Amino acid sequence: MGEVARNLERLRNRVYDVARRAGRDPDEITILGVTKGIDIERIIEGIRAGLTVLGENRVQEAEKKIPLIDADVEWHMIGYLQRNKVKKAIKLFSVIQSIDRIPLIEELSKRIREGRLRCLIEVNTSGEPQKHGTQPEDASAVLKAALESGVLQPIGLMTVGPYPPGPERSREAFRQLRILRDRLEKEFGIDLPILSMGMTEDFEWAIEEGSTMIRVGRGIFGERNY
Report CA-CA distances (Å) from 34 to 42, 50, 108, 134. Answer: 11, 14, 24, 22
The amino acid sitting at 45 is: E
Q: What is the DSSP string of 28-53?
A: G-EEEEE-TT--HHHHHHHHHTT--E
- Domain of 53 in residue numbering reads as 3-221
Residue 158, beta-bridge partner list: 122, 196
Let me know if residue 147 belongs to a domain: yes
Q: How far apart are CA 68 and CA 41, in angstroms?
A: 11
How many separate helices (H) and strands (E) can be counted in the chain? Answer: 9, 8
Scored b (16 or more CB within 10 A) or e, 195-216 reads bbbbbebbbbbbbbbbbbbbbb
Let me know if residue 226 belongs to a domain: no
Find the length of the chain: 226
Task: Provide the domain count of the chain.
Answer: 1
pLDDT tens column, 85-105 = 999 999 999 999 999 999 999
Among left, alpha and beta (phi > 0; psi -120 to 50; other), residue 127 is left
- For residue 112, what is the domain's CATH number? 3.20.20.10
pLDDT tens column, 72-88 = 999 999 999 999 999 99
pLDDT tens column, 144-197 = 999 999 999 999 999 999 999 999 999 999 999 999 999 999 999 999 999 999
Let me know if residue 62 belongs to a domain: yes
pLDDT tens column, 198-218 = 999 999 999 999 999 999 999
Classify residue 123 by its DSSP letter: B
Q: How far apart are CA 148 and CA 29, in angstroms?
A: 29
Is residue 225 pLDDT above 80, yes or no?
Answer: no
Task: Give the pLDDT band (50/70/90) at residue 226.
Answer: low
> Nearest 5 degrees, angle CA 178-CA 176-CA 80?
90
Helices 40-48, 3-21: crossing angle, 10 deg rounding: 50
Q: What is the pLDDT of residue 80?
A: 98
pLDDT tens column, 11-36 = 999 999 999 999 999 999 999 999 99
Let me know if residue 25 belongs to a domain: yes
